[in-house]
Amino acid sequence: MTYRDIIVYLDTGSATSARVDAAVELARRFEARLTAVNLVPAVSSDGGWQLCRDNLQASFEEVASRAGVANGHRAVSPDASAARDFFAHDADLLVVTQPDRRNAGAVPVDFPGRLLLAAGVPLLMLPVGWDAARAIGRRPTVAWNGTGEATRAAHDALPFLRDAERTALFTFDARYGLGETAVEGFAAHLHRHGAEVIVDGWRDDGRGDWLSALFASLDRERSDLIVAGAYGHPRIAERLFGGATQDLLGQDLLPVLLSH
């Protein structure tokens, strides 16, 4: 398995340029086709939006072509709402930027979350202000707790894990260190897929919290990507995800690959 089709979303926000640069580098690395999906409205009384759309498309095509990446461009309709309207089902990986209320006029704050819950493919979320020159996924950390969502995320991230220098499999478990746990078996499974995996287990003794342990692990492992399962239900409007996922979405240090 590898990524053959990657989609990056374009909007009028300040994060678009870095998002495109990061997506182009990933497409080059995985020899994937990169499609830009333009979120700028298609209609305008004065033609201003059309000019903006055209400029975004031209800029994307220039960057992708200069990198030698096969590319395409699609535009959403003004009434787009379902995942298929954003062409999410045509990709192996979706690239977006962390929700930013300062950018709410360019794209709804809940767009990435709703897209993830409906798309059925992994979503790579870059922090606001991400430097596209930084590597992504050379030293990933998989946050694994034995759930289906976390396991699905690890499998969706296999192209990164196989290509990485090494992968840390993080777990925060009351039983860790008290005998063999499921995490060792899962680490061996990922290793059979070609990933160089080390287990970074933390025992939950009730005195700390998983997020503090995770960030200590990320710092110790010098990680550049978090892989995690996303929890939530599409009918929840106010809070799309559970607390653990919200914590990951709120951090602004590293990209997160999420699967649901």
Q: Both 97 and 36 in a single domain?
A: yes
Is the separation of the CB atoms in 124 and 257 below 8 Å? yes
Least confident window among 30-44, 64-78, 154-168: 30-44
pLDDT for 234 equals: 42
Count of CB atoms situated within 10 Å of the CB of 209 = 11
- Model confidence at 22, pLDDT cuts 50, 70, 90, reads very high
**Of the candidates 95, 126, 157, which is a domain's last residue?**
126
pLDDT 10s digits, 50-68: 788 889 999 999 999 999 9
pLDDT for 240 equals: 40
Least confident window among 29-33, 86-90, 240-244: 240-244
What share of the chain in percent tops pLDDT 70?
A: 85
26 CB-near residues (< 8 Å, 6+ apart): 3, 6, 32, 93, 95, 124, 136
Is the overall model pTM greater than 0.85, yes or no? yes
Q: Both 9 and 87 in a single domain?
A: yes
Range of the domain at 164: 140-255
CATH of the domain at 49: 3.40.50.620
Largest CA distance in the chain: 68
SS (H, E, C) the chain: CCCCEEEEEECCCCCHHHHHHHHHHHHHHHCCEEEEEECCCCCCCCCHHHHHHHHHHHHHHHHHHHCCCCEEEEECCCCCCCHHHHCHHHCCEEEEECCCHHHCCCCCCCHHHHHHHHHCCCEEEECCCCCCCCCCCCCEEEECCCCHHHHHHHHHCHHHHHHCCCEEEEEEECCCCCCCCHHHHHHHHHHHCCCCEEEEEEECCCCCCHHHHHHHHHHHHCCCEEEEECCECCCCCCCCECHHHHHHHHCCCCCEEEEC
Instruction: Tell me if 132 is assigned to some domain.
Output: no
Is the separation of the CB atoms in 147 and 259 below 8 Å? no
Q: Tell whether the model's pLDDT for residue 257 goes beyond 90.
A: yes
pLDDT for 209 equals: 82
Instruction: Tell me if 131 is assigned to some domain.
Output: no
Least confident window among 17-21, 58-62, 203-207, 214-218: 203-207
Total domains present in the chain = 2
Q: Both 147 and 115 in a single domain?
A: no
Q: Both 84 and 147 in a single domain?
A: no
**Of the candidates 78, 103, 126, which is a domain's last residue?**
126
Q: Both 64 and 93 in a single domain?
A: yes
Q: Both 57 and 116 in a single domain?
A: yes
Q: Tell whether the model's pLDDT for residue 258 goes beyond 80.
A: yes
pLDDT, average across residues 182-204: 93
Q: Both 9 and 68 in a single domain?
A: yes
pLDDT 10s digits, 161-177: 999 999 999 998 877 66
